[in-house]
Amino acid sequence: MFIEQFRYHPIPAEAESLRSQVREFVAENLQHLSLRKRADSWMGFDAEFSRKLGERGWIGMALPTEYGGADASAFARYVIIEELLAAGAPVSAHWFSDRQSGLQILRHGTEQQRQFYLPAICRGECFFSIGMSEPNSGSDLASIKSKAVKNEGGWLLNGQKVWTTNAHRSHYMIALVRSGESDNRHGGMSQFIVDLRLPGITVRPIKDLTGSEHFNEVFLDNVQLPPESLLGQEGEGWSQVTGELAMERSGPERFLSCMILMYTMLAEIGSKPNVLQQREVGRISARLMTLRQMSLAVTHLLDQGENPSVAASCVKDLGAVFEQELPEIAQLLCDAEPTASGGTDYALVLAHLTQQAPSFSLRGGTREILRGIIARGLGLR
């Protein structure tokens, strides 16, 4: 059973040796970033920062050297991203290309696609968005309606995507759309690499509840895609996407979103905690230590080429609950009231992350979807 997979897998020394370099890099490059901005975590966008990371060779590390990568283990990337996330570095620009689009192109793309996209991804110059959700298909991804029809120029794309993170500032979007008929609910779908500058594409940012713009509506109106924009096999979109989803479920971004709150809260509490503060801080720390080890165990399996999808769902759901509880616990431990403007770092960070928290159980699979996967993994039928 998947629970057996949660063994101890320390980070190999080679990967571990990257850590001090990242810490130095972060100390140099982020010193002026406010705690409130750092609290944006992996929603913080800074193209220049991403380019600098690319220069250091810290994007797309797992890709083969021939495409600009470093052929590094999954643990090497893990060390890089956990240090960046822990520092509240603005990693959003390259996040999706680093985490999944690069690997997806390596795995399913043509040689030409690999050579075209992967080196630019590794340089931190080519940003991707993921086009999955549609207005009437939230958790029910199989009900998408956007459609690509083969024509002489390649494919004619029509439809609409929504909640597409960074579409207003990315170069490409890998979209899952219908490309044919099928009796199977999961058939007849394909993935396309869509150049977001193409005519017929309108990207409209959606403000979130704090007024920030991270995600978008993407309108696709007779977009002419060249034949080479098809990624992987025609009609295999669903299985390609399923493999992709597993990659995004167990990473440290699933439990480190509230780290800046943790730091500001510890500063607010100080070095003489009362018993209530001791207990809650201790419990949070124990859970975080354990979640990190669980995430590393899944990383080990991914590194071995396995597909630990149930274990990954477990990490993701526990991580989301943890991240959502942190602001709830914080407001119980300190008397300071959260503020949207004008308050202390702690108050600003608390207000910001309290408001962001609902999204933690949306992105990357809702609670209901994840728990369904785990129940099936247990053999409930």
Partner 1 sequence: MRDLFEDTMRAILADQLSAEQVISAEGGEFPVQLWASLEENGVPLALVAEDAGGAGGTLSDVCGLVIACGEHCAPLPIIETMLANYLLAKHGRAPLTGIVSFSASDGLLINKGSVSGALTNVPWGRNCDYVLAAVGAELLVLSAAAARDCQHISNTAGEPRDTLNFEEAKPLISIPMAAGESNKVLLLCGALVRSAQITGAIMRVLMMATDYANERVQFGKPIARFQAVQHQMALLAEQASMAKASCEVAFALSEQSFHEDSIAAAKICSSDAAGVAAGVSHGVHGAIGFTHEYPLHIATRRLWSWRSEFGSSSYWSCLLGERVCVAGADNFWPRLVAGSF
Residues 316-335 binding its own copies (CB under 8 A) are 332
Write the single-letter amino acid at 341: S
Residues of this chain, 200-219, that bind partner 1 according to CB under 8 A: 206-211
Binding-site string for its own copies from residue 330 to residue 369, where x marks contact by CB under 8 A and - marks none:
--x-------------------------------------
Residues 237-296 that bind partner 1 (CB under 8 A): 259, 262-264, 266-267, 269-273, 275-283, 285-294
| Minimum separation from the CB atom of position 282 to its own copies (A) | 11
- The kind and range of the H/E element at 163 are strand 154-165
Residue 27 touches which member of partner 1, its own copies, none, C-beta under 5-8 Å by kind: none
Alpha carbons 14 and 168: distance in angstroms, whole number: 37
Q: Cβ–Cβ contacts within 10 Å for residue 268, how many? A: 19
Report if residue 380 touches its own copies, rule: CB under 8 A.
no
Kindly state the smallest distance separating residue 153's Cβ from partner 1, in Å: 33
Which window, 40-48, 142-150, 276-284, 360-368, contacts its own copies (CB under 8 A)? Answer: 276-284
Angle at 374 between CA 354 and CA 104, to 5 degrees: 80
Annotate 297-331 with b (16+ C-beta within 10 A) or e (fewer). bbbbbbbeeeebbbbbbbbbbbbbebbbbbbebbb
Q: In whole angstroms, how close is the CB of 343 to its own copies at the nearest point?
A: 24
275 binds its own copies (CB under 8 A): yes
190 binds partner 1 (CB under 8 A): no
The 347-376 site mask, x for binding partner 1 (CB under 8 A), equals ----x--xx-xxx-xx---xxx-xxx-xx-
CA angle 204, 207, 210 (to 5 degrees): 165
User: Which of 31, 112, 271, 274 touches its own copies (CB under 8 A)?
Assistant: 274
In contact, 315 and 302? CB cutoff 8 Å: no
Full DSSP string of 113-144: HHHHHHHHHHTT---EEEE--BTTBSS-GGG-
| Residue in 317, 326, 349, 365 binding partner 1, rule: CB under 8 A | 317
Tokens 């490309």: give the residue. 179
Q: Considering the rule CB under 8 A, would residue 279 count as an interface residue with its own copies?
A: yes
Amino acid, single-letter form, for residue 307: N
Binding residues for its own copies, per CB under 8 A? 274-279, 332
